Structure 1
Amino acid sequence: MALETADPQVNTSPQAGLTGLTAAEVAERVSRGETNNFHPKVGRSYWDIVRENVFNVFTLTMLIMLSIVLLMGDYSTVFFAGFSVISNAAFGTIQEVYSKRKFDRLMAMQAPRVKVIRDGREQEISVFAVVKDDVLPLEPGDKIVADGVALQSDSLEMDESQLTGESDAVLKEANDKLFSGSFCVAGSGMMQAQVVGANSTVNKLTSVAKMYRYVLTPTQARINVIVKLSIFVMVVCTPMIFVAGYRQMGEIVNLTNFQSAVVFVASIVPQGLVLTATISLTIGAIAISRRQTLVQRVNAVESMGNVTCLCFDKTGTLTENKLAVHEVKPQNGTGEAALKDKLKLMLLNLSALNRTAAAIGVYVGAEKDAPPAQRKLREVPFNSTRKWSAVVFSGETLIMGAPERVISPSEKQLADEAISLAERGYRVIAFARSEGELADQSLPENRKTLALIVLSDRTRNDMKSTLDAFAEQGVELKVISGDNLQTVREVATQAGMHIRQAYTGDQLAQMGDAEFAAAALEGNLFARIEPDQKRKLVASLKAQGHYVAMTGDGVNDVPSLKEAHLAVAMNDGAQITKDVADIVLLNNALTTLPEAFFEGRTITQIIYGTCKIFLVKNLYSLLFFIFVGFMFLPFPINPTQISWVTFGVVNITAGLMTVRLYLPKKMEHFRKDVLDYVVTAGALGAVMATLVYAVTFFERGVGGEGMLAARSVIVVYLTLFGMLVFWNVCGIELLHPQTWRKNPRVFLFGLGAAFVTILAGYIVPQILAFVRPNLVEWALVIAVFLATALLLEIGVRTRFFANLIWKLTSPP
């Protein structure tokens, strides 16, 4: 994408100078509407929520058919089936609106803030309070929030990749145009905001290109596919019901046909599953937010449960990120006083201080904003690729950075000393001097090392327990750092990590694709890694089947955070990292992540459990209706009956599982633990229901009485079968009493739900069109139910039927 590069018109009036705007000038611009108070879409709107819950294919189809049934005078069907449809849509809408409001409030509490110069002093304000002509200071990690112009540039480098797709940093001089959506990666400067609000570059892109994208988790994607398949079956098969009714009764517009169509549609579309999944994710997001973790994408909660590999840096994760100078070792005869003067000279001329430079500044007494003894000619700012910075003066250049880059090849003994210090867990910085000016952005050959600066950063006391917690959850840990290999290895070992295999960035750079992929998988420590290598490591792990979470706090982490399935930022990190992150650790500590991952796994388990309950019902309904149709028998259940059974042993049980009153047994794989059970239970339930229906229908005699009796027996059987599925999902097997005793609450609740559902038929038989089964029919139902429990247990253990199905889809 090409950005507009028209010459900026700099406002040179006094109020636009580096003293910034006055309070009166700010108020004037606010009154004219020249503010940055623009809120792009960062989630589903209220209209999206209403549309998806109310105006979807399932709900509209049901409402149309129920309207016709109402005109035909069947009020019972309209009430029961309509109650299910309307309550599902209404509850889903209300719950999601409530959750959106609560989530939006949480997000508002963490709204981005920026620094501005007003009334001659630096202030921190909300990004939405920026007005036209505001003066904003820029440092590495700062995101540009409005289009403007650079007033000052001190080696200011901007990353415009989010706008242009180009990853190379762009050097900006005074009067150059700056675009919202880009961010500072090196140097510093001042800018003046000129285009704010909806007209800025990034907000135009957001509005026109709809940059917001709701990323589905693996489980959500699977549910989406299931819903689409169900709707396809509904659209194809519903007209067939009317054709079959026409063949039997000689007319299409018939109450019986519409009743059968209502049952069919309500039975095969798992609309309640979408609702329970959404509620589960929202409850999880709010719960995690109470644990010093801000969730910026609701379904990131489930993503946490899918994580198999966590990549993180050493600094600020394994360590406390409180760097302090441990020792300064002068070299080549440099005196201590002269060394401190040179360090102070360089630090006071740096355009921006990172944590390392700030720690050295404290040691030498380089006070912020103090005038340097000599002004620089130019600067080469530090970045993670160069791993060094330089300040050029008249007659000399001062250099600071990684020992392996800064120390001259002729100073081998000094390089060995730096390695020795790094092996003890210290961060080592080389400080060097070169006579003359730097010709380009490469290190001069005649440089001489003035000192080795040794910094320490204490290992976190709680890291051992945190690493153990990740191991218990089966999360593989990989340290990816820009620090020296020996330093990272020692710190990781102190924290309790077992280093299986370590690689450096230089080693990775020499590898081909296959060797790189093997190293990414085998290694668990990577040192002296450049930002693009970090991104490639994440991409390689993803390609090899890992679900990758990446933590970061600096500008150099942005590419890898974007690449990861789950991006985790530190609250004290650069604003741009928080902008691209899915979750933000408010306490800047990994210690909260194991709990968050556990919460994510709990959410996944709940969604898997409700999937079983809903999908078994959908599958057995579809097959049951097909089997009955093959035998040319009347439709096996009416809308009132199926609505009541679904409410009693499907919706209630799944709903209580969603709010965590009951939890499912542990499941690892969607296909093996969910779909295998659904296929086995759904097919078996359909066969057994067909058996019960056919035997009762013919035993009572073909006709109206036989149909009513057979439907009533089916109500009893499907209720008991729904109870059995709920028990199985929660880990109870009917034929193994020890499982009852382990979870008596689940066992008794299942019994109670089934009892109340069946009892309603005895209390209000007219409403449910219920004919009390005789003793023979009760014996038939119980016998078939026990046989179902036995065969289901055998089928689930052997996976015989499920494996036959999957063999059809496996490659030859």
Structure 2
Amino acid sequence: MPTDHQLGGLTAAEVEERTAAGQINRLPARSGRSTWDIVRANVFTRVNGILLVLFGIVAATGNLTQGAFALLIVANSIIGIVQELRAKRTLDNLAVIGEAHPTVVRDGERRLVARDDVVLDDLIVVVPGDQVVVDGAVVAADYLEVDESMLTGEADPVPKEPGDPVLSGAFVVSGSGAYRAEKVGADAYAAQLTAQAAKFTLVHSELRQGINQILKYVSFLLVPVGLLTIVVQFSQPDTTWQESALRMVGALVPMVPEGLVLLTSMAFALGVIRLGRRRCLVQELPAIEGLARVSVVCADKTGTLTQNAMTLAEIIPLDGDADAAREALAQLVTADPAPNASMQAVAAAVGTTDRPWLVTARAPFTSAKKWSGATFGDGTSWVLGAPDVLAEPAVAGHADVIAASGRRVLLLARCAASVDDAAAPGPVSPVALVVLDQLTRPDAADTLAYFQDQGVRVKVISGDNAASVGAVTRSLGVDIGDPIDARTLPAAGTEELADVVDRHDVFGRVTPEQKRTMVGALQARGNAVAMTGDGVNDVLALKDADLGVAMGSGAPATRAVAQIVLLDDRFATLPYVVAEGRRVIGNIERVAKLFLTKTIYAVGLALVIGLMGLPNPFLPLQMTVVGWFTIGIPAFLLSLAPNRERARPGFVRRTLTVAVPGGLTVTAVATVTYVMTRGFGDVTDAAQHQASTATLIALIMTATWVLATVARPYYWWRIGLVAFAYAFYFLMFWIPVWHDALALDTTDPAKLMVGIVAGAVGMAVVEATWWITAAIRGERPRVWAPGAGHLTQARNASSP
């Protein structure tokens, strides 16, 4: 390949000229929406619009106190804006660190630049693992092969020669080269696809789709029930229009699940921010949901369980000539323009030579063939690679004995064929075993133990020798089974392969295509699979996994296809990532049950009371207080709490099996109380207020017990949350000063007792329903959680 000076490249003046002309690789902002878009999206919402109209009606009556629910407009907007702006800032800062930094040649020198700083006609140098960032044409190629599977679906690497086109989104699998940028920015193929990778978005989420589906059901009920409520309330005899308007608003306000969408968005945004503090870049926001559903983690050994850096431990001559082996290694190092981690370790020990042999052919290392080599001017060919791939069983067995201790072993050998021959390497003559020491990550053992404790299976899938992979996992103190040589696996797509992959947890000599196949086999068995990796051989599996996790120092191609990038390269960050996903999804499901219960009983009460032709028993302020202390405040606190349970499919069904019985129970209890204490026909204002007060007591007792069941399993702070709600309501009815503001009348003990008894019956029904529906779903209900309290829970949920 020509030198940098021979390649040329642009001058600084030419770069400035193209930049001024706008011929630069500028792409849309990583975090999607602008600040104004975020403000507008959080202020001009459907929920805010409904609440604003209802507040206008209340304001027209002159009783602004009853319009306290309008504070939700301000609260929803401010919280949504602040959290999304914080998440945007986090994503912007991390994306700058995590994005690809191509190497360009300018003024005859190589420079690392930001992806967005590439200009038209820039000369870009690539090595294995580099992603092609713009469209262009190859200028120089040294056995260059490019994988275009993400663009064309073609699985095999494509050799590239000078003059051949390359497209953005492809990545280099072997060799090296340089290409000239011909299309930049929005003109480049797949540029928009790359720009979308880190957008702040909530689409394509099972959870969001489930919530939208539920809200669609609710919307179908709101229109007819709302019209019925309006007609009935304004048809009441001897009632002012102001009172009719207030009671109409009191019926409509609780129908709106005003906090559900807000808390869902906030939980996702907080997840991004919390993970960002741990140097974890969430490139696709729905990935947080995927975290919660992970049941299997497939981890590549190198760069994940072990550190990328290796050291040369020893060279074991097999033909008695140690000096010849060291000289051949030095020549191979000198001939390799893009050494991988193994070759870098060899180079650090033997160095390069100042008398290089003439190279007539080269074969770069690839994960598929597992060897590299060079043919020199005197006709000799040298290869360096996996002993069990290159050598006879006797030599391979010797290497396996060494590898069983956790070391990495390569074979240096001569071969008769030229290394670029289709039949290469053919029969080889072993010269020496090259032994490399691998350093395990200090946090790998605790991380593997954490996953086992959490019921998440870990499968180590590596291209290294199976015995070496098994030795490394055992050295971490976690015995996850005997290693399997992937060359003995059944054919792809068979049930036999799925059985083997499901039963065993450690695999060696796995090719990139096999990694992809194994991920597919696990998914076919109903697993949610996370794949971690850092090398170009992991790209295909990362792309197909339910959740791709790349190391920050890994190849740009792996970072480009992964949903999550661990910028600090710490495998130990993964437990925190999984715990955060569980916290977000589990808590959203929990609070969704609360909000939908309120919506169901509000719709049910409006429908039943409307069909009876009775005035709505509640005023807006009463429903606002109930909404705050039974739903809003508890839901907010529950949405922030740790949650260790792995998410499962069936969100809509599980949510409705709690919300529908709970909502119907509250409806029945409140309706019976109202009819028993008020009766039909016209009544005095005092009788109306007494009946409304008794009905409010029954509703509060029953609805708050729904909170008590949703908060399970109990920790001390959750018990305190329920106790606080009941204590507040007791004081609300006990202290006379609150009675005027809330229109409460507690002067009739008989009616109050009806409400209390009905509320107690409602609590019992909610409790029984909780146990019965759990049994129907086949779940084991848990009242008490293990551990001493909130601090224990938080530590267990976020610590490996």
| TM-score under structure 1 length normalisation | 0.85
| CA 752–319 in structure 1, closer or farther in 2 if over 3 Å, else same | same
The CA distance in 2 between the partners of 1:647 and 1:320, in whole Å, is 51
Q: Specify the alignment match of 1:200 in structure 2.
A: 188
What is the CA-CA distance between 1:551 and the residue it aligns to?
0.5
What is the CA-CA distance between 1:405 and the residue it aligns to?
2.0
Report the secondary structure of 2:359's partner residue.
coil
Report the secondary structure of 2:372's partner residue.
strand
Aligned residue identity for 2:356 = P
| CA 178–359 in structure 1, closer or farther in 2 if over 3 Å, else same | same
What is the CA-CA distance between 1:752 and the residue it aligns to?
4.5
Q: Indicate conservation of the 8 Å contact 2:548/2:563, yes or no.
A: yes
The CA distance in 1 between the partners of 2:713 and 2:385, in whole Å, is 62
What is the CA-CA distance between 1:522 and the residue it aligns to?
1.5
The CA distance in 2 between the partners of 1:208 and 1:502, in whole Å, is 39
Aligned residue identity for 2:334 = L
Q: Indicate conservation of the 8 Å contact 2:450/2:575, yes or no.
A: yes
Q: Indicate conservation of the 8 Å contact 1:723/1:754, yes or no.
A: no
The CA distance in 1 between the partners of 2:28 and 2:748, in whole Å, is 66
Q: Specify the alignment match of 2:385 in structure 1.
A: 401
The CA distance in 2 between the partners of 1:664 and 1:179, in whole Å, is 44
Q: Specify the alignment match of 2:752 in structure 1.
A: 778
What is the CA-CA distance between 1:188 and the residue it aligns to?
0.5
What is the CA-CA distance between 1:635 and the residue it aligns to?
2.9
Q: Specify the alignment match of 1:6 in structure 2.
A: none
Structure 1 residues 148-184: Cα deviation after superposition (integer angstroms, max 9, x where no partner):
2222110111122333232322211122222222221
What is the CA-CA distance between 1:705 and the residue it aligns to?
5.0
| CA 583–696 in structure 1, closer or farther in 2 if over 3 Å, else same | same
The CA distance in 2 between the partners of 1:664 and 1:704, in whole Å, is 48
Report the secondary structure of 1:503's partner residue.
strand
**Equivalent in 724, 733, 739 of residue 749 of structure 1:** 724
After TM superposition, the structure 1 = structure 2 runs for residues 469-480 of structure 1, keeping only pairs within 5 Å, are 469-480=450-461
The CA distance in 2 between the partners of 1:268 and 1:597, in whole Å, is 35
1:449 and 2:418 matched: no
Aligned residue identity for 1:399 = V
Aligned residue identity for 2:567 = L
The CA distance in 1 between the partners of 2:745 and 2:473, in whole Å, is 71
After TM superposition, the structure 1 = structure 2 runs for residues 408-427 of structure 1, keeping only pairs within 5 Å, are 411-427=392-408
Greater CA drift, 754-763 or 743-752: 754-763
After TM superposition, the structure 1 = structure 2 runs for residues 674-689 of structure 1, keeping only pairs within 5 Å, are 674-689=655-670
Aligned residue identity for 2:738 = I
Aligned residue identity for 1:474 = G
Aligned residue identity for 2:399 = A
Q: Specify the alignment match of 1:485 in structure 2.
A: 466
Q: Specify the alignment match of 1:643 in structure 2.
A: 624
After TM superposition, the structure 1 = structure 2 runs for residues 168-567 of structure 1, keeping only pairs within 5 Å, are 168-203=156-191, 214=202, 216-235=204-223, 237-241=225-229, 262-263=249-250, 265-331=252-318, 333=319, 335-366=321-352, 372-376=356-360, 378-394=361-377, 395-407=379-391, 411-438=392-419, 440-500=421-481, 502-510=483-491, 513-567=494-548
**Equivalent in 111, 120, 129 of residue 123 of structure 1:** 111
Greater CA drift, 141-150 or 27-36: 27-36
Greater CA drift, 162-171 or 51-60: 51-60
The CA distance in 2 between the partners of 1:75 and 1:514, in whole Å, is 70
Aligned residue identity for 1:541 = L
* CA RMSD between the two structures: 3.6
Q: Indicate conservation of the 8 Å contact 1:642/1:715, yes or no.
A: no
Greater CA drift, 671-680 or 499-508: 671-680
The CA distance in 2 between the partners of 1:283 and 1:756, in whole Å, is 34
Greater CA drift, 680-689 or 473-482: 680-689
Report the secondary structure of 1:154's partner residue.
strand
Q: Which has the higher contact order (CA 8 A, sep 6+)?
A: 2
After TM superposition, the structure 1 = structure 2 runs for residues 689-708 of structure 1, keeping only pairs within 5 Å, are 689-698=670-679, 702=683, 705-708=686-689
| CA 183–801 in structure 1, closer or farther in 2 if over 3 Å, else same | closer
Aligned residue identity for 1:466 = T
Q: Indicate conservation of the 8 Å contact 1:62/1:262, yes or no.
A: no
What is the CA-CA distance between 1:62 and the residue it aligns to?
4.6
Q: Specify the alignment match of 1:598 in structure 2.
A: 579
**Equivalent in 549, 555, 572 of residue 574 of structure 1:** 555
Aligned residue identity for 2:341 = R
What is the CA-CA distance between 1:708 and the residue it aligns to?
4.0
Q: Indicate conservation of the 8 Å contact 2:133/2:169, yes or no.
A: yes
Give the unaligned 5+ runs of structure 2: 779-800
| CA 557–271 in structure 1, closer or farther in 2 if over 3 Å, else same | farther
1:717 and 2:698 matched: yes
Report the secondary structure of 1:201's partner residue.
coil
What is the CA-CA distance between 1:141 and the residue it aligns to?
1.2
Q: Indicate conservation of the 8 Å contact 2:294/2:646, yes or no.
A: no
Q: Specify the alignment match of 2:772 in structure 1.
A: 798
Greater CA drift, 755-764 or 284-293: 755-764
Greater CA drift, 517-526 or 478-487: 517-526
Structure 1 residues 110-169: Cα deviation after superposition (integer angstroms, max 9, x where no partner):
443222223333222222222223222211111122222222110111122333232322
What is the CA-CA distance between 1:313 and the residue it aligns to?
1.2
What is the CA-CA distance between 1:436 and the residue it aligns to?
4.5
The CA distance in 2 between the partners of 1:704 and 1:234, in whole Å, is 29
What is the CA-CA distance between 1:243 and the residue it aligns to?
6.4
What is the CA-CA distance between 1:279 and the residue it aligns to?
1.3
Aligned residue identity for 1:160 = E
The CA distance in 2 between the partners of 1:671 and 1:502, in whole Å, is 41
1:729 and 2:706 matched: no
Aligned residue identity for 1:136 = I
What is the CA-CA distance between 1:283 and the residue it aligns to?
1.9
Aligned residue identity for 2:20 = S
| CA 47–722 in structure 1, closer or farther in 2 if over 3 Å, else same | farther
Q: Specify the alignment match of 1:8 in structure 2.
A: none
Q: Indicate conservation of the 8 Å contact 1:698/1:706, yes or no.
A: no
Report the secondary structure of 2:190's partner residue.
helix
After TM superposition, the structure 1 = structure 2 runs for residues 52-91 of structure 1, keeping only pairs within 5 Å, are 52-64=41-53, 67=56, 69=57, 73=61, 76=64, 79-91=67-79
| CA 43–480 in structure 1, closer or farther in 2 if over 3 Å, else same | farther
| TM-score under structure 2 length normalisation | 0.87
Q: Indicate conservation of the 8 Å contact 2:367/2:537, yes or no.
A: yes
Report the secondary structure of 2:373's partner residue.
strand
The CA distance in 2 between the partners of 1:800 and 1:215, in whole Å, is 30
Q: Indicate conservation of the 8 Å contact 1:667/1:673, yes or no.
A: no
| CA 190–667 in structure 1, closer or farther in 2 if over 3 Å, else same | closer
Q: Indicate conservation of the 8 Å contact 2:55/2:67, yes or no.
A: no
Q: Indicate conservation of the 8 Å contact 1:713/1:773, yes or no.
A: no
| CA 653–222 in structure 1, closer or farther in 2 if over 3 Å, else same | same
After TM superposition, the structure 1 = structure 2 runs for residues 138-177 of structure 1, keeping only pairs within 5 Å, are 138-177=126-165
Q: Specify the alignment match of 1:614 in structure 2.
A: 595
Q: Specify the alignment match of 2:783 in structure 1.
A: none
**Equivalent in 18, 22, 45 of residue 11 of structure 2:** 22
The CA distance in 1 between the partners of 2:523 and 2:171, in whole Å, is 27
The CA distance in 1 between the partners of 2:480 and 2:164, in whole Å, is 48
Greater CA drift, 745-754 or 775-784: 745-754
What is the CA-CA distance between 1:355 and the residue it aligns to?
0.7
| CA 156–601 in structure 1, closer or farther in 2 if over 3 Å, else same | same
Aligned residue identity for 1:477 = V
The CA distance in 1 between the partners of 2:739 and 2:555, in whole Å, is 65
Q: Specify the alignment match of 1:9 in structure 2.
A: none
Structure 1 residues 30-65: Cα deviation after superposition (integer angstroms, max 9, x where no partner):
222222232355544556545654444444445456
Greater CA drift, 490-499 or 227-236: 227-236
The number of aligned residues is: 772
| CA 525–675 in structure 1, closer or farther in 2 if over 3 Å, else same | farther
